[in-house]
Structure 1
């Protein structure tokens, strides 16, 4: 008789039993996860009326693969735009809920006499709600259209991310034992943030770009092979760096999610995820020991009560703290009162690390099963509980809640500062991470490698040169004027003098980062000291900050990154927008006229010396004088007495310009309120044909004369008699693009001009 490997026998038994149980559970309208757990119990070692799995090691390995694919699929469903769109409500609610349930779980475990690590992992397990169970309950109760369900799904998105981070921290604490110090924990968090940012930036730049490039070369077969290969490769890398395999799988899934064919990949990977996921949940059921459940009946009851009551209190309180109404908060809190699949994954992590007791796994499974059945009843009880609570609350408490949830504490000033600091922090975090990664790679990999092949000082010179070249585009972005958001920086600068000092601190922080990076190159790598090092740093800073080529290289990199990050969302938005709707920049751009006063300080100055574009981001579209009309004036054009200036820019850019006009006493007086480009073009049609402004879209193909050149070098103002007002790259749009932006093939360029522009474009066969 031919020998059949044990794993095939076991797999056949697992899948056959799982198939039968899931069909039965589908018939009685229960979650399939429970069917898998029952199948695991039936085929496990604690059920003697059925053949038992013999090769537990292989099943355990398959279940680990199941966790990898579950997290990979979770990453494929994830979207960075979705994370951005959930708003502060989901972040605040999740922070309160997870923080509260971590404390509840830890203290419950301590009261039950469990050790420190059991209690810590218990807190992590109790803090995670079940997406699968909640979605099913909402569908069964036909609640998906309710307002509160959007908040619940937002909380679940943040919970998934928090769960990944929690697994990394729990694994760190488990490996370091219970004696881990606060400093070690902070270093672990910093290390995690460093690698997350690095993987996010490099992955977002490379992975979607690769799938775009190879789209025509890959069929369904190669798409699956490449995607799973990237997933497992990231798992190996994350594991070698000391992180969990789940983290690597989730990160690669979230990066592939931004690829143009992400939906197809998700569809192709789904059956594989379902297969290995089923094995994982079956392995969960195999851990269930009825003897332990009977022995631990009291702890199970205590944890079920703690889970439901704790989730009701902290989830409701978190949503309420975010500013939502009491009604919405109660419905959200009652919807999140269960634990599920992520709790099993955390329990599996603890078991694989050997840091939690064996009895904890079946207890968590029992708590999950019970709270799964109670979830629909909790959701249905939300409205009666809310009505009862309204009757019990004193009128003063209800008035306070109405005031708290009905107002916002952010005024315009605080919101401007919040937006500026958020953008500044995110950009600097990315820049510092990239610069640190380059420095570490140079010192610990490139320098030793070159040191073995070249003699000193050539190895150091070559390492320093390579490091300087790679760092330069990033340093050019760090040294760009203001704090990374010119409009907000200028708006706050001109709003009041009290803003000057904190804004200068932000600029100083950028200079400090750039100086530290250059110090590493000249001092650490080249071993320069004292005066020579300082002079080298100053000269390098001047060279980098004044280089248009470096700025164009950085903008090329940044635009590719932003296209990859936003393209999928923008494409969906475009597909959902009627084809006859207005052009995207019709409302983004505004125009306004300014009269030049007789004593204006700018009379006799060139537009280049005034620096309206460099300082405020807006362009002078037209100069109107008593004896002249200058369309799209160049930088050498002189402002004359009696001129009227027509400026074009975004709403925020024109607000900043107006504030600067008042504070700097430029002698300009606004004629009227700004009007949108759409309104301006409608009014413009009343003019004579030769005086009308025209807006055109020009596709840059491989034969275009401006392909590969920057906006500044192309000099379209003089060559084509037009002003560039917008650019589309893929589905990503840029308003008033930077002069250093380099044109790429298939860019769509939006320009403004008059009949002269049209004649030029037709003559040169651009149109």
Structure 2
């Protein structure tokens, strides 16, 4: 095989193994990170020997680390950190220091490491928790906005921020004992000088550069510019001895306060995910399953020490800050694992020969085990607390406290607002109407030139593509009162509608249609109201003429409302062609669609579509029904399902899976 193809072949092997492992982990309801590690282990030198961590794969995994840290910096919220500064800065810093002392101290005193610098590095590795796993568990349990959920995230923010400091300072511990002091001083001096320069660069240069990139209107140039900024600063910090990861993290921090940060993050995330997967799979390449089996008892003890030790430290800290024992226990048992960024520190330690291979193997095994256990702990903790609440002596300790009420009272987030997507001619008119009527709103648009009006009027806005789930979450679509989509692109309109309703199924969405064929499709996808500008112009012109002809105002208004309520069907040109099945195929192009036969014994037989409530229960939309030799396109809610019907269904892969299950076992409606 040609040498130039070796990298491509190795990438396919690693990514294929990671994707397979991640899929299996996901189906088993485990963190996909574990799947990446296992996938790498299977094809690594200790497994099938298909790939070795050498040369280009290692370089690409370093790019993954850089993008991982860059995204972390962009997502960092100084505002959130300051809002929770007491428990975040005080409690988070104390948790890191105490965990570092406990982990490093136990390892040094037990002979696990030979020197104090190694012990400090090991303690730092153990002090970090997994933001990804904890946040996913909180979202699944709808506990992000609870007191314990907010405390967990506050402590995790401080841990993530401390990673940059650790990456800059801890490498100085590799120096001989008599030079460690001066090495630490030099490292700190370099860090402060770099951070000072970065502060000025981020304050004056980065906003200007990003605005120039945005004004080109080219998404490709914007992405390239962001990547050059990230990797360029990472290479600079590597050149001055602070490491690639430190520079990438600071580059993200520089961008985090720029108004285009969310759009930049949305563009970088897919690349970050691919290269970060390479990084985690490359860690798996180094895992020796035989070694883990031979040291299984040691791993069990390490997992117990780490999880119990971190849980006790964190619980005592949160309790010491005045929160009830129930909250303290939830936080302590929620962030007592070792996180994904610990791999970054452990890899740095191994590259500097601080960690021998056996210690690195134990760390990787312990981390994987704690990540596996965490979701179960978070699920079991509420049951344990209910048991404790039945004990009279524990009730005063578990009762809510004033500090808990004050903690939640400080939270201020936009709610009950109208989201206007698209700030073109239609969007601007709509925004003006809402603005002068005093309705709170937020605008999403990716045209920099049009946003100056919003800045001048101090109207909240987000720059970027509204079809991005990330931007929709930032816009708090789940808390919005309504949404109006006035985009010029039909595909972007459909994607925005689908993704907004996937986040908030009950959202009242008004959509602008571009052509006749879109009207019924947009209704079927869940829009409450679809407006076709050409038809609206015709209706207004017709109303004006009828009024001039002497028709009564009430009668004219009723006629217009009749056409609108009928979704313009009675005035559609070439109506027969519009209802043809060929038109359906054109309309659903680009969407996940499939024909499903209706089982003979299905309980759906005999129900109409309104009673079946398929879209609400599965997220899918029935676009057409084939019955014998006829096709009924865009069926209305009163259409009754019959034996032998074949249903054309549109939805994402997960929704299709839900629909297949729904056909076999319909979900009971609340």
In structure 1, C-alpha distance between the alignment counterparts of 2:107 and 2:344, rounded to whole Å:
19
How many residue pairs align between the two structures?
428
The equivalent residue for 1:127 is: 127
1:202-217 equivalences under 5 Å are 202-217=201-216
**What runs of 5+ residues in structure 2 fail to find an aligned partner?**
407-412, 421-430, 441-451, 461-670
d(CA) in 2 for partners of 1:580 and 1:330? 49
**1:294 Cα deviation after fit:** 3.3
Any stretches of 5+ residues in structure 1 without a counterpart?
A: 409-568, 585-700, 702-726, 733-767
Sort the Cα spacing of 1:38 and 1:399 in 2 relative to 1 into closer, same or farther, 3 A.
closer
1:148 shift after superposition:
1.5
Correspondence for 1:273: 272
Q: Is 1:171 the counterpart of 2:171 in the alignment?
A: yes
Residue 322 (structure 2) pairs with residue 331 (structure 1): no
Q: Structure 2: how far apart are the matches of 1:42 and 1:290?
A: 9
Name the structure 2 match of 1:288: 287
Q: Deviations over 1:694-737 (max 9, x none)?
A: xxxxxxx9xxxxxxxxxxxxxxxxxxxxxxxxx979789xxxxx
Determine the C-alpha separation between the residues in 1 that align with 2:225 and 2:390. 60
2:82 corresponds, among 76, 81, 84, to 84
Q: TM-score, normalised by structure 2?
A: 0.58
Task: Tell me which residue corresponds to 1:196.
Answer: 195
Return the offset for 1:263. Answer: 2.0
Moved more, 84-93 or 98-107: 84-93
What residue in structure 1 maps to residue 39 of structure 2?
39
The aligned counterpart of 1:442 is none
Whole-Å separation in 1 of the counterparts to 2:392 and 2:101: 27
* Alignment correspondent of 1:378: 377
3-state secondary structure, aligned to 1:56? coil
SS in 1 for 2:287: coil
Alignment partner, residue 251 of structure 1: 250
In the aligned structure 1, how far is the partner of 2:107 from the partner of 2:326? Answer: 32
CA distance in 2, matches of 1:168, 1:274: 24
Pairing 1:210-609 to 2, within 5 Å after superposition: 210-386=209-385, 579=435
Deviation at 1:252, TM superposition (A): 0.8
Alpha-carbon shift at residue 368 of structure 1 (Å) = 1.5
1:139 is matched with which residue? Answer: 139
Q: Residues 706-717 of structure 1 correspond to what in structure 2 (within 5 A)? A: none
Q: CA 1:79/1:113 → structure 2, altered by over 3 Å: closer, same or farther?
A: closer
- Residues 89-126 of structure 1 show CA distances to partners (whole Å, capped at 9, x for unaligned) of 11122112111110121122111432224322221111
The secondary structure found in structure 1 opposite 2:167 is helix
Structure showing greater Rg: 1
RMSD: 3.6
SS at match of 1:340: coil
What TM-score do you get using the length of structure 1 for normalisation?
Answer: 0.51
Counterpart of 2:524 in structure 1 is: none
With 118-127 and 380-389 compared, the bigger mean Cα shift is at 380-389
Distance 1:240 1:582, change over 3 A: same
**Partner Cα separation in structure 1 for residue 339 and residue 30 of structure 2:** 14
Map Cα deviations across residues 120-154 of structure 1 (whole Å, 9 max, x no partner): 22211110100111122223434334331112111
Deviation (angstroms), 1:240: 2.1
Once residues 397 and 53 of structure 2 are traced to their aligned partners in structure 1, the CA distance between those partners, rounded to angstroms, is 64
- Corresponding residue SS for 1:359: helix
- 1:393 to 1:179, Cα distance in 2 relative to 1, 3 A: farther
State the distance in 2 between where 1:256 and 1:193 align: 19
**Distance across 1 between alignment mates of 2:325 and 2:371:** 25
- Does the C-alpha gap of structure 1 residues 295 and 406 become closer, same or farther in structure 2, counting only changes over 3 Å? closer
The Cα of 1:276 is off from its aligned counterpart by 0.8
Q: Are 1:207 and 1:256, in contact at CA under 8 Å, matched by a contact in 2?
A: yes
CA contact (8 A) 2:87 2:321 kept: yes
State the distance in 1 between where 2:220 and 2:154 align: 34
The whole-number CA distance in structure 2 between the counterparts of 1:390 and 1:122 is 37
User: Is contact 1:118–1:360 with CA below 8 Å preserved after alignment?
Assistant: no
Q: Secondary structure at the match of 1:310?
A: helix
- Check whether the contact 1:320–1:405 (CA below 8 A) recurs between aligned residues: no
Say which SS state the counterpart of residue 242 (structure 2) adopts.
Answer: coil
For the Cα contact (< 8 Å) 2:418–2:439, is it kept in 1?
no
Give me the whole-angstrom Cα distance separating, in 2, the residues matched to 1:331 and 1:392: 18
Structure 2 contact 324–398 (Cα < 8 Å) conserved: no
Q: CA deviation at 1:239?
A: 1.6
Cα displacement string for residues 330-362 of structure 1 (whole angstroms, at most 9, x for unaligned residues): 211111121121111111111222222111222
Aligned to 2:160: 160
Q: Output the CA distance in 2 between the equivalents of 1:236 and 1:140.
A: 38
